[in-house]
Structure 1
Amino acid sequence: MVKRRGTSKLLRMKGSENTDDLISGLPDMLLHHIMSFLNTREAVQTCILSKRWKNVWRTLPYLYLNFNDFKLDVSNRYSPDLFIDFVSNLLLHRDPTCLHTFQLDCRYPLNYDDEIISGWARYALMHSPRVLSLLVPKNAASQLCHSVFNCTSLEELHFGYINMLDQIKLVPETIVAPHLRHLRLYNVHLNEKFMEKMFSECPGLTDLHLVWCILKIRSIRSQKLKCLTLHQCEYEVDMQVIDAPSLTELCIKGLEAIRYEINITSMPSLLKVVVSYSSFQPRWSVIFPRFSNVQQLELKGPSIETLLETELPTCPIFHNLRSLFIQLHCRTCDIALTANFVRYCPKLEELVLSLDYYCQCATTLTNVFRETRISKELRTATLFRPKLLRKIKVFHIDCCIKAEQIVQALKHKGLWECRN
């Protein structure tokens, strides 16, 4: 025993000579992985740590370049010149090795030549990136449109110009990206021909997000697509069909922009649906039967109460629904409709209600919790209510407790007030 203790002590003493900087002893690949959790400005600053770290950044395959990382002071002032100098010098002195990820976010007008931004993006395209995110000013996006859609190394692409009030038409003519799986586009003009080519030239595409895009398409058809988001898109022609039997997640925001009902074909794999209404359209009264097998449903927008009222007469039983999120608004709030809808969800486990600040009737809250007891599986109801524009308060309420006691407890703690 004595010998064993002495041996372990000796080993600890010998090891202590080399434990001052164990991280620096790691190979470059592991150091790159550690640095991938930093923005690129912070990653470059590691060069001052020691001689070992001096040149590690030169072969870093993860570049995250965001204009917001270049604040001058706490007053939130930014320095375009500092950002330009940093990125230009970084790419000039970086070793010509392949890139895994290149993210460039300088979407705001910075009063300098768009050719500079285009040059940075072309540098990335020349180094075979697997993940590419370019959120750039509109002129630079126009210049890069063709090159971006013909980068054969891409597995994930985020591209476009983020400004809903100043749309431009990025019209890609061809696409060659055989390995592309995830695609997110902003303000891109898509026609039927390009959509067909996209699904044929990108056979592995499973995740498609279209944000503020201009769509001249009548259908979206894919056998492999799993996630589809249509966020406040503009429809130049009437979309008629969404045919994606492998779809697991569907998000449609801005349904009022769709003038005619979309034929949503059978989606046996669908698990999550998010529907957002800004104005109610009666033609959508048959939407729920399409989603009767989902496990997670989110209903948002000021016309949700009207939607619920229209849907209830023909509402199916949601046998698999586990989580329900409903956003209610003060002017049209009718929680009785929500309570009635919950009756069609016998296996509901989580109910989330998002209420306006002015929706503060304790009696209404009492009624909805009493009605939600129809679901034997329900364990938790969560209430979101912003108070005077402060941080949103969250209440987790065990529905086994009497609803009246819940309201009284909230009142006692000053977390709820009733305005009659």
Structure 2
Amino acid sequence: MKRGPSLHGDQINDMPPNIIENILSRLSIREAVRTCILSKWWRYNWVTLPQLIFDCSLGDDLINQNDKLARFIDGVLSLHRVPICKFKISHLCIPNSPDIIDEWMLCLSRNYMQKLIHCPQPMYERYDLLSSLYSCEKLTHLELSFCTLGHPPMFACFEYLRSLSLYKVDCVGFTFEELISKCPILERLMIDGFIGSTDLVIYAPKLQELVVDGFCKVMQNICFKNTPLLAYVSLNLQCFGFQGVLMNHKQDGISRLMKVFGSLVGLQMLSVGGNFLKFFAVDLIPKRLSNTFYHLKKLDLEICFNDMHMISAGLCLIRSAPNLHKLQIDVSYLIPTNA
């Protein structure tokens, strides 16, 4: 009797490459690696995956053993053979070893990585990212959490980076302004947990969207330099330390409202939340800004209605936007007495 076609030989080993890649892309990275046992034809199929994602899908036996997890990531990176479009570590507790992370970054830089998302499990100590991060010159998207960034080398540049997200990230020995200046075509910037600086100076000629959230010591200086394309701005900040600013403020004839928003002539959406409107209370608040927000369509404000300075600052912004389509005001009545 003539034997029928082998299920193993014909239907598994003879699959077209695009079908194999589609199957592997739907598996966790650990399951994809395990397909190497199917046959000798499948042994190295997973090493051409364009995305490497390490998250909770790895299983408890890896997640709960830091050293074992680190060895698994080492093994995957050492065997991978094609450019990596996306590398992601999400909600995993990995060893807080600058040397280990440094080796990963160096390996990723040699694989022409485009998207890096490094969001490990929150710990008391931040992870240290050394200068090897700046060797990932092909990055278009960078997302970092719970880490400390070292000073970038003099000639380092993320010349392809379009999106940057930072959550509870500290810059040691340099400022956010210096970091952003290394990203000449940056279009989207998100800073959450802004705690490491008292200044926020944005120089980004291609920037279109800015989101800044979190608690911070009230800034001595916040301004936008050369941001002609900036259309979406959200400043949702809970500030503390206003008293020191009030005592040290020197009048120069220009209101803080004008310093912060005066150059943002192309704004289409503006959101000011937390108690950030109180930041402008150190000045005489004008009735309206000298520049008009002709393109501003949506304005969201959080105002404490028992603080006349916040009310005046909010009214100034409203009067400066004659073409508003939507105005949303979130009302509060209590602010800390030591703010």
For the pair 1:96 / 2:81, whether they are aligned, the reply is: yes
Aligned 8 A contact 2:298 2:326 in 1: yes
User: Structure 2 vs 1, CA of residues 191 and 208 (structure 1 numbering), >3 Å: closer, same or farther?
Assistant: farther
Quick one: structure 1 residues 217 and 310, their matched pair in 2 at CA, closer, same or farther if it must change by over 3 Å? closer
Map Cα deviations across residues 159-184 of structure 1 (whole Å, 9 max, x no partner). 3526xxxxx56433443222121122
Secondary structure of 1:254's aligned partner: strand
- Aligned pair partner of 1:150 in 112, 135, 143: 135
Deviation, 1:131, is 1.0
Distance 1:286 1:64 in 2: 51
C-alpha distance in structure 2 between counterparts of 1:208 and 1:141, whole Å: 21
Q: Helix, strand or coil: the match of 2:271?
A: strand
Match of 1:172 in 2: 152
* Structure 2 runs not aligned, ≥5 long: 1-6, 250-255, 335-339
- Contact 2:235 2:273 survives alignment (8 Å): yes
Q: Secondary structure at the match of 2:75?
A: helix
How far did residue 197 of structure 1 move? 7.3
What per-residue deviation string (whole Å, max 9, x for no partner) do you get for residues 129-168 of structure 1?
A: 01112235797843x3312123221112223526xxxxx5
Given candidates 271, 276, 279, the residue that maps to 1:274 is 271
Report which of the two structures shows the higher radius of gyration computed on alpha carbons: 1
**What residue in structure 2 maps to residue 406 of structure 1?**
none
**Alignment pair present for 1:123 and 2:107:** yes
Q: Which amino acid aligns with 1:238?
A: Q
For residue 206 of structure 1, the aligned residue among 182, 187, 203 is 187
Matched, 1:27 2:24: no
- Asked whether the equivalents of residues 277 and 303 of structure 1 are also in contact (C-alpha less than 8 Å), the reply is no
Contact residue 105 and residue 132 of structure 2 kept, 8 A = no
Secondary structure of 1:263's counterpart equals: helix
Partner of residue 69, structure 1: 57
Residue 192 of structure 2 aligns with an amino acid whose one-letter code is V
Aligned AA for 2:105? A
Please report how far the alpha carbon of residue 309 of structure 1 lies from its aligned counterpart in structure 2 after TM superposition: 3.7
Matched, 1:226 2:214: no
Query: What amino acid maps onto 2:76 in structure 1?
Result: L
Q: Is the 8 A contact 2:218 2:239 kept in 1?
A: no
Give the alignment's TM-score, normalised by structure 1: 0.56
Kindly indicate whether the alpha-carbon contact (under 8 Å) linking 2:54 and 2:89 is maintained by their aligned counterparts in 1. yes
Task: Say whether residues 1:87 and 2:77 are aligned partners.
Answer: no
Q: The residue matched to 1:87 in structure 2 has which SS? A: helix
Shift of 1:37: 5.6
Name stretches of at least 5 consecutive residues in structure 1 with no aligned partner. Answer: 1-16, 163-167, 333-420
Which amino acid in the other structure matches residue 157 of structure 1? L
How far the C-alpha of 1:128 sits from its partner, in A, is: 1.4
Distance 1:132 1:210 in 2: 16
- In the TM superposition, structure 1's runs of 4+ consecutive aligned residues that sit over 6 Å from their partners are 48-52, 137-140, 190-194
How high is the sequence identity, in percent, across the aligned residues?
A: 21
Q: Work out the CA distance in 2 between the residues paired with 1:106 and 1:84.
A: 14
1:160–1:185 CA contact under 8 A, matched in 2: yes
Cα separation, partners in 2 of 1:32 and 1:253, compared to 1, 3 Å: farther
- Counting only pairs closer than 5 Å after superposition, residues 364-375 of structure 1 correspond to structure 2 as none
Supply the AA of the counterpart residue of 1:179.
Y
| Counterpart residue identity of residue 109, structure 2 | L
Q: 1:266 to 1:191 in 2, by over 3 A?
A: farther
> How is 1:189-338 mapped onto 2 (pairs within 5 angstroms)?
189=171, 195=177, 198-199=180-181, 201-213=182-194, 214-215=196-197, 217=199, 219-232=201-214, 234=216, 238-243=220-225, 244-254=227-237, 256=239, 259=245, 261=256, 262-278=259-275, 281=278, 283=280, 293-300=295-302, 303=304, 306=307, 309-311=311-313, 314=316, 315-316=318-319, 318-328=321-331
Q: CA deviation at 1:316?
A: 1.6
Deviation at 1:235, TM superposition (A): 6.0
C-alpha displacement of 1:106: 5.4
Aligned in 2, Cα 1:58/1:278: closer, same or farther, shift over 3 Å? same
Cα separation, partners in 2 of 1:296 and 1:283, compared to 1, 3 Å? same
The superposition leaves residues 333-370 of structure 1 with CA deviations (integer Å, 9 ceiling, x where unpaired) of xxxxxxxxxxxxxxxxxxxxxxxxxxxxxxxxxxxxxx
Deviation at residue 298 of structure 1 after TM alignment: 3.3
Amino acid at match of 1:118: D
Structure 1 pair 299/282, CA: closer, same or farther in 2 (3 Å)?
A: same
Distance 1:27 1:240 in 2: 52
CA distance in structure 1 between the partners assigned to 2:149 and 2:321 by the alignment: 41
TM-score by length of 2: 0.67
Instruction: Label 1:36 to 1:266 Cα distance change in 2 as closer, same or farther (>3 A).
Output: farther
Q: Specify the SS of the correspondent of 2:267.
A: coil
Q: Which residue type is aligned with residue 27 of structure 1? A: P
The two structures, once aligned, show a CA RMSD in angstroms of 4.3
Q: Distance in 2 between matches of 1:287 and 1:91?
A: 59
Question: Which amino acid is the alignment partner of residue 185 of structure 2?
Answer: G
Instruction: Measure, in 1, the Cα distance between the counterparts of 2:177 and 2:274.
Output: 26
Question: Structure 1 or 2: larger strand share?
Answer: 2
Q: What is the number of residues matched between the two proteins?
A: 298
Separation in 2 of the partners of 1:313 and 1:117?
49
| Residues 150/234 of structure 1: CA separation in 2 closer, same or farther (3 Å cut) | farther
* Secondary structure of the structure 1 residue equivalent to 2:206: coil
Compare relative contact order (CA 8 Å, sep 6+) and give the higher one, 1 or 2.
2
Q: Report the AA paired with residue 266 of structure 1.
A: S
Counterpart-to-counterpart distance in 2, 1:219 and 1:48: 54
